[in-house]
Structure 1
Amino acid sequence: MNHRTLLRRAAALGTVAALAVAPLLATPGFAHATPQHPSAQTTPPLPAPTHGATVDWFDAKFPALDKGSVFETVTFERFEYLLKKNTGKWAFVIGGPEDPELQQTIGHIEKVAEAQGIEKIYNFDPNLDGDDLSIFDLTGYDLDSADNAGKDQFLDLGERLVTSYLGKDAETPFTLADDPAKPDQRVAPQHPYLFVYDAAGGDNARIVDALTTAPDLSTPDAVTAYENDVKRVLTSASLDVDTQWDFISTEHNRRHYERYVKNADPAVETANRARFGGDIFNAADDLTNGDEDDFRIENITYPELLNILDSDGEFVILFGGTWCHNTAAIIKQTADYARQYGIKKVYNFDFSLDSTGNSGTLDKHIRDNSFRTVGGVSRKTRPAFLYGRILDKLSNAKTQYRITTDEPGTQSTSPVKYDVGGTEKLARKIQVGHLLSYDKDATDRGRPAPVRDQAIRSDWTNPDGGTFAGNVEYMSEVWFTQGKDATYDAANPDRLRGNVNVTTEVGQNSLQNQRNFAKEAIDQIRDVIVGVAGGYDSSVAVTGAPASVSVESPGRLTAQVKVDTDYTGFFSDRTAGATLAPLTGSRALGGSVQVLLDGTKIGEADVSADRTAAVDLALPTLTAGDHTLRYEYGGGAAGRVDAGATEQTLKVVAKTSTTTLGAAPTLTYGKSGTITATVSAGATGEVSLAGLPGGAISAPIQDGTATFTVPGTVPAGSYTLTASYAGDGAYGSSTSAPVQLTVGKALTISSAASVTTPYGTAGTIKVTVSSPGGVTPTGSVTLTGVGAAQTRPVEAGVATFSLPRTLAAQRYTAKLVYDGGSDRSGSQTQVSYTVTAIAPSKVAFAVTKKPTSKKAGAGRVTISVPSGLAAATGTVKVTLTKGGSTKTVTGTLSKGVVTVALPKLAKGTWKVGVKYAGAGSYRAAVSATTSLKVAR
């Protein structure tokens, strides 16, 4: 294991320990932790980073250094990030190019570091502007200082570094100034410019070793002595490396987690991850083969940005900081596209010089007005002129906020007002995160246009009915960009919705519009990066062009040209979060296709919205032989898509051919047939028949004809057929006039037998569907007229219907209709279905009140039927006989039972019989004879 690997592993372990207090979740894909380093190749090969300009700050600003030195700048945020880690040992050099002592010594420090195999020395310049804005000493600086504003805020940064980290050791030279006469100086003039820092050193051993005083380099011996001192400091501890990947990924993940996810309740934290998204960066996905040096985003300081803006070449610049949730929404995708398209570096600058934020009371955020009200008084508290310098360079940048009301569009007017020598100036306000490409020497129609491209919704007209129009910057969120390709899922409504209420349709519209806005933003970021990489490739494909023509009559060149490219042009015609239904589309590719014959342009066709161009050109007179047709797409999408071309050979032959297609056969589905094409006598090769579903079919020419079989599987319908001959060495190509082929539906026959079944017994009707042409019937049959309508599938040519036992006794007319379908005709049949009446199970009589010779009585008649069937209805007659005396009574059944009145009866034994007359589904029946004794 080499020294570099050991340092990387130590740095990784230190990063993990620093965030060990953060709760970890097992939610798949959302486990919060510092990005880990994969141990094996996890990503496919990517193009070499060859696009986009880069600069070497130290080579440019320190004459004693060459490219690729051990030094790397750190912003204030990254400096403090390293100081407050609880593990790790770092080498620091303090100062900038403006420091003559550092200019004198840095070459010697580099020499020693290289000799000792030191990989990285971090350089922090307390002068945040590379000039006079020092967090240690602002004596004479043109800012007010009062009520924690202006100078106080900047000097507080230096005091925080000393109090919290650099001044922990009793022997350390970092000390706070205590001279009341110098309120603008917080650190003593003498402090280390080179030191090794141990983040785990506690309160008394953080600075391991240091150099403070200016060295004597006047003689060779003095130089040797100094370099020995440097060696002593740099070898006082085993130094670690914290990469741009370590810093940017860790801080973005940490801030997102703490702002949106973190919660003492694990269940709430899990829910927060679902709503607000998981980690922004993950090493397994975001590093090529685990190599942190392949991470293409580099955090830079203010003077580095100015140097880039003054350097030659086209640069990719991302404005925004780790504090900014809108920057977090796009930084991962920016890094991904930089790798995918071979961009060497994306330079990342934060307008907040300490990366605290953009609140109006934070004077370290330079993209705001110079003057603000503090303690009721307007004071110059912010060095906003630093921002003005940047925007002077970005002279043609588009922003959402206008400078004056005279500009087009209706977006808000909110410039940055800054002071230069007592004169107020205005600058455009760039919102973050914002990606653009920059080339200081670029022009547009003779005017300076250093901003080559930027991710912004430009010159937009709002279709939502509101007043906002003009330029729109992409202020999105992590959960919307992570979910940009998702759709609302009712089974998982919280997924990546943030705080959008999705319980209503307008809320779901709002979520989808936010996602579409995010998708548009990410696509535009891709466009900017691809533009620096040279633009999207395009390819050209041609169909329909003739393979040969004749000298006698070359005719016309008719072809369809298709342009293919990865450029999506996706856009959303809604404001972010609009509650109207989503409205999306793709920007037109545009451009045109030129057609060249043997290098000479013979025509041009515009590319339509579907990215095709229809070519229809008269061919000039040609000599026999092979000629070259070239189709050249000139590029489109406002320069984002590159040119493409393809070539075809056009054979010019001596004779003109003719192709005639014969009459189409009369076909029905399931029945095949043939159609014949006739070609000029002597022609050889094949003829192609087009127009059938499934694509063209070919047949060889035999004795001047080609015969095609139209298969019986061709669906019923109407088809326009043409026959095309491609030509041979003697004959040119030709195409027949169209012939119409009609395929009818296959005939079907439905048949069934009548059925008779007794009441109370389930029945079955079977219908057979057949086709004289041998086509297997599919689909279904519907039965009506016998109880509730039923539909049953046809299986093996039969549809079977089960009828309930409760159908009342009668003769039914069963209508059976086969639905046919797109390829089979319908058919139907009608049969009878008869349900016959049955005898009741039993007729019974019981006396409920005995009659006497003096009083009438009563009896109950019960007609029993099988379980589950309808109760008997109709009338009953009860007959009572004794000797020659007969009495009868009648009654009408209700639910199979009736109580009848019995008359006064003479004393003696009477015979009782019941006769049921029958009704509905039941036949007539009689009871057994019973006896009734009348005692008195």
Structure 2
Amino acid sequence: MKAIIQTRRILAVLLTLVLAAPLGLIHANAADKGAVSQSRALQAEVNQFNYFDQVYPRLNDKNHVFKTATYEDIVHLFESEGNFAVLFGGAWSGQTQATIGFINQVAKEQGIKTIYNFDTKLDGTALDIADTGSPYAYKYVDLANKYLKNLNLYDKDIAANNVSYQKEDGTTVAANKINAPFLFIYNKDHKGNDGEPAPIVSYLNESKVWEDFLTNGALDASKVTAYKKLVSDTLGTVANYSVIDESDYIKEAFNLNYAGENPGKVIFNEQDADLVYEHVTYHQLKEILKSNGNYLLFFGGSWCPNTQALIKYVNEYAKEHGIEKIYFFDTKLDGGVEVREAGNNTGGPKGDNPHYTEVLQIRTTDHPYAKLYVDLVNNYLTNIITENNSAETPRTINYTNTFGQVVSGDRLQVPYLFSYNRSNKDVNGTSAPILGHIELMYSWSNIQPDYVKEGEDFVAGARYQNLIKALDALFARLEATTVRLTSTKATSSTNADGAINGTSTALEYRLVGESEYKKVTGGSITGLIPGTYEVRYASKPGYQGPTTKDGATAKLYPAGQAVQIQVRSGEYADVSADAWYYPAVDYLASRNITAGTESEGFGPNVKLNRGQFVVLLLKAYGIQPEAAGADNFADAGDTYYTGYLAAAKRLGIAGGSGDNRFNPEAEISRQDLAALLYRALGVLDRLPAGATAGTLEGYSDAANIAGYAEPAFTALVKAGIIGGNGGKLNPEGTSTRAETAQILYNLLTK
């Protein structure tokens, strides 16, 4: 699997927007990339989510070796050839939390690329198949008995050591219970000294909490070393490890299921390149939906004929748009897989299809875990549009809560492909996390580009064209607000020769004060007079059934919230051509990176305040201000930064200065700026992974750094983001706008 990609472009945008940042910013990959090509070009950065970094605070390594495995994934791994490192455990487990970082360190030291993590709690919290009391205990027991033949951790005659279930004839079937964390090496073909199957080559069943690694409240190196030795001995049992090619695996699953009903036929062939899809668990999906960023998500399964129809073409079109990741979630938490001993995978309602069961389909009314689906929709997909909820008689998924009340959620059909940003608000200020969707119920046969059905009045390939039209609409907007806009100055205050660059045809614009928006026709808006312009995503449709000869049903999404960008004219009155900072100011102003303090002035000697810094920081990431009335600092006031302070407080970027106050009008010190920047990069998952030789010890005034800012300075100096001047960091000082402009100019023109 590819490593999580850090979005360097967004980090560069953050740094270039932060005019207030009086620090030596020296990130080598931040560059002015110019306007984006509009010929099927990527319209926004689609984020990739680092699940383990998010849910395991002590892992502390963004380039870790762990990969989640759904139930379907772990079955596939257990049936694959090779040596695999596997960890049973979950973020809910204090023992897994305590040890996962040490396991990761040892694995990387031994050159292991991937450890597959399977959580027997299929929802990450409550649905535990490794529990005799669960109606789905057989999902664990049969998995263990079929694949982990030599799982003999405890005395099987003691019921408390096992997970068990009763067959219809009253026979009890049991398997040793695996407790988290359980690290083991798996090879399906491995045999023991007696010649019998022994697929667990080696294992570590050591349960430790964090306190077990401490002495007098401090981490004890000897205890850590002893545990890492156990991990090393376990992982060192084999010399070579295999990695599942998820792309090939997903292709294989779809071909297998399709061929099960259509003998001799396949969806994917040898010419198909790698796929952009990544399977996610329920807990992983929920964490994605809770996080900031732009994501593409696909609900469906290889068992579903309608998902089979779209899976190949969605992938092809996504790659044409430069999209590298679509998260793929199956509402059947087991993928519909039935795991029993040989012979029990056939004879189901779909013949040889091994994904036919419905027992863990949470998208089912009154299912014991329907709550998982309903709460997911109601808590995160709040503006969902579906064919079911658009019908004259809407169809929902329901469950009864502990108070006897029926709770309902809109029923989506699979496949359901959608773009998502949890922070998005529409033009009316209403939360609208889903930016667009596709819900088309076609089959692999009728979606072919040349498909014609006798007696049907559809044109040839109509359904394929419906999908392409829907994908064009969906991929036109993959972000909450556009974040790459720059401007070109007009030559004078009266000339209409200014421009806004980095646009796309999905946008519309207007000069502030005008009533109507105009449609953007390309990569730039030209012929502009100086002034402030509002640019936003125009209203656009999502597509779903029912489909007629005239096409799929279009459902409009409201226009997005506007961002403002200024087109300037001429020179600043207070910046002379021979000033040392002139090239920097001219460069930044021409790209709308910095603005003046008044109509004709730049204010080179002006210092920025805390409120201004927070506004710039959040705008850089397209984070919208909170609506009036949101929880806020007591001194947030009612001004341009009020909503942004509320957003920063909600996200945990701004903690205030005590007594629920932020002091937004106070000049921001270098150490406050460092602390805010560090916290923001952490919250937004943008801390750079690279490191330099820089340390605080290299600066004579490091002792002057306040305690709250020391972690920020330590990390940012080490990463090469912050540098000093004359051997000093000057944590209590501030910088002028001219000094900051020069820093940014040096950064962007390297």
Distance 1:345 1:182, change over 3 A: closer
Find the counterpart in structure 2 of residue 527 from structure 1: 473
CA distance in 2, matches of 1:49, 1:212: 48
Aligned residue type for 2:291: S
Aligned partners of 1:180 and 1:232: how far apart in 2? 25
Does residue 390 of structure 1 match 2:366? Answer: no
Q: 1:79 aligns with which of 54, 74, 79?
A: 74
| Equivalent pair of 2:65/2:113 in contact (CA under 8 Å) | yes
Q: Give the Cα separation in 1 of the matches to 2:65 and 2:528.
A: 57
**Could you tell me which of 361, 365, 369 is aligned with 1:369?**
365
Cα separation, 1, equivalents of 2:157 and 2:440: 43
* Distance in structure 2 (CA, Å) of the matches to 1:531 and 1:71: 31
Higher relative contact order (CA 8 A, sep 6+): 2
Amino acid at match of 1:164: K
Written as runs of structure 1 = structure 2, the 5 A alignment for 1:809-820 is none
Q: One-letter code of the match for 2:471?
A: I
CA 1:98–1:524 in 2, change beyond 3 Å: closer, same or farther? same
Q: Structure 1 pair 240/199, CA: closer, same or farther in 2 (3 Å)?
A: same
2:376 aligned counterpart, secondary structure: helix
* Structure 1 residue identity aligned to 2:431: P
Structure 2: how far apart are the matches of 1:96 and 1:535? 35
Please, which runs of 5 or more residues in structure 1 have no aligned partner?
6-44, 140-150, 263-268, 288-294, 371-380, 403-407, 456-472, 489-499, 537-564, 568-588, 613-626, 644-936
> Which amino acid counterpart does residue 169 of structure 1 have in structure 2?
N
- Displacement of 1:302 in angstroms is 0.4
The counterpart of 2:443, out of the listed 453, 477, 500, is: 477
Distance in structure 2 (CA, Å) of the matches to 1:604 and 1:449: 23
Contact kept in structure 2, 1:253 and 1:279, CA below 8 Å: yes
Q: 1:205 aligns with which of 184, 192, 198?
A: 198
Indicate conservation of the 8 Å contact 1:321/1:349, yes or no.
Answer: yes
Corresponding residue to 1:350 among 330, 334, 337? 330
Partner of 1:737: none
Give the structure 2 partner of residue 56 of structure 1: 50
Task: Give the AA of the match of 2:463.
Answer: F
Equivalent-residue separation in structure 1 for 2:518 and 2:253 (angstroms): 49
Residues 221-620 of structure 1 correspond to what in structure 2 (within 5 A)? 221-237=222-238, 238-260=240-262, 262=263, 269=264, 273=265, 278-280=266-268, 282=270, 284-287=271-274, 295-356=275-336, 362-370=358-366, 382-392=368-378, 393-402=380-389, 409-410=391-392, 412-421=393-402, 422-444=404-426, 445-455=428-438, 473-481=439-447, 483-484=448-449, 486=450, 488=452, 502=454, 506-507=455-456, 509=457, 512=459, 515-532=461-478
Corresponding residue SS for 1:351: coil
Q: Name 2:63's counterpart in structure 1.
A: 68
Corresponding residue number in structure 1 for 2:500: none
Tell me by how many angstroms 1:389 deviates: 1.6
What are the Cα deviations for residues 627-656 of structure 1, in whole angstroms up to 9, with x where unaligned? 9799x998986358999xxxxxxxxxxxxx
Give the counterpart letter for 1:206 in structure 2: P
Closer, same or farther: CA 243–516 of 1 in aligned 2, 3 Å: same
Deviation at 1:163, TM superposition (A): 1.2
- The residue number in structure 2 matching 1:134 is 128
Aligned residues of 1:298 and 1:346 also touching (Cα < 8 A): yes
Give the helix-richer structure, 1 or 2.
Answer: 2
Per-residue deviation, residues 451-479 of structure 1 (Å, max 9, x unmatched): 11112xxxxxxxxxxxxxxxxx3111122
Change (3 A) 1:170 1:531: closer
Report how far residue 236 of structure 1 moved. Answer: 1.5
| Greater displacement, 92-101 / 130-139 | 130-139
Q: Does the residue aligned with 2:285 lie in a helix, a strand or coil? A: helix
Q: For residues 638 and 162 of structure 1, do their structure 2 counterparts lie closer, same or farther at Cα, with a shift above 3 Å needed?
A: same
Q: 1:107 to 1:181 in 2, by over 3 A?
A: closer
Q: Which consecutive unaligned segments of at least 5 residues does structure 2 have?
A: 3-38, 166-172, 215-219, 339-348, 350-355, 483-502, 542-558, 563-750
Deviations, residues 501-546 of structure 1 (Å, cap 9, x unaligned): x3xxx14x36x47x4234213431342233116999xxxxxxxxxx
Amino acid at match of 1:450: P
8 Å CA contact retained: 1:194, 1:211: yes
| Distance 1:286-1:440 versus aligned 2 partners, 3 A rule | same
* Equivalent residues of 1:343, 1:533 under 8 A apart: no
Name the Cα RMSD after superposition. 4.5
Which of 145, 167, 176 in structure 2 is aligned with 1:188?
176
SS at match of 2:85: strand
| Contact 2:151 2:200 (8 Å CA) reproduced | no
Write the deviation string for residues 691-741 of structure 1: whole angstroms up to 9, x where unpaired. Answer: xxxxxxxxxxxxxxxxxxxxxxxxxxxxxxxxxxxxxxxxxxxxxxxxxxx
SS of 2:147's equivalent in the other structure is helix
Aligned to 2:587: none
3-state SS, counterpart of residue 454 of structure 1: strand
Give the match for residue 95 of structure 1. Answer: 89
1:481-506 deviation digits (Å, cap 9, x = unpaired): 3x23x264xxxxxxxxxxx5x3xxx1
The AA in structure 2 aligned to 1:201 is H
Per-residue displacement from partner, 1:335-356 (whole Å, max 9, x unpaired)?
Answer: 2233222334211111000011
User: Does the Cα contact within 8 Å between 1:384 and 1:419 map onto a contact in 2?
Assistant: no
- 1:224: how far off? 1.8
SS at match of 2:446: helix
| Cα drift, residue 607 of structure 1 | 8.2
Instruction: State the alpha-carbon separation in 2 of the partners of residues 355 and 530 from structure 1.
Output: 31
Aligned-residue offset at 1:170 = 6.7
Q: Which residue of 2 aligns with 1:722?
A: none
Matched residue type, 1:415: T
Secondary structure class of the residue paired with 1:231: helix
TM-score for the superposition, normalised by structure 1: 0.43
1:160 maps to 2:129: no
Whole-angstrom distance in 2 between the partners of 1:180 and 1:566? 61
Change (3 A) 1:206 1:628: closer
Aligned counterparts of 1:447 and 1:78: Cα–Cα separation in 2: 38
Aligned to 2:477, the other structure's residue is in SS state helix
**Change beyond 3 A, Cα 1:117–1:49:** farther
Q: 1:181 to 1:297 in 2, by over 3 A?
A: closer
Which amino acid is 2:65 matched to? V
The answer on whether the counterparts of 1:177 and 1:186 sit within 8 Å (CA) in structure 2 is no
Identity, % of aligned positions: 27
Larger strand fraction of residues: 1
SS at match of 2:385: coil
**Residues 1:638 and 2:539 are matched in the alignment:** yes
**Aligned partners of 2:527, 2:75: CA distance in 1, in Å?**
66
Conservation of the 8 A alpha-carbon contact between 1:159 and 1:176: no
Q: Which amino acid aligns with 1:56?
A: N
C-alpha deviation, 1:72, in angstroms: 0.5
CA distance in 1, matches of 2:422, 2:132: 32
- Which letter does structure 2 place at the counterpart of 1:279? I
Contact 2:89/2:182 (8 A) holds in 1 = yes
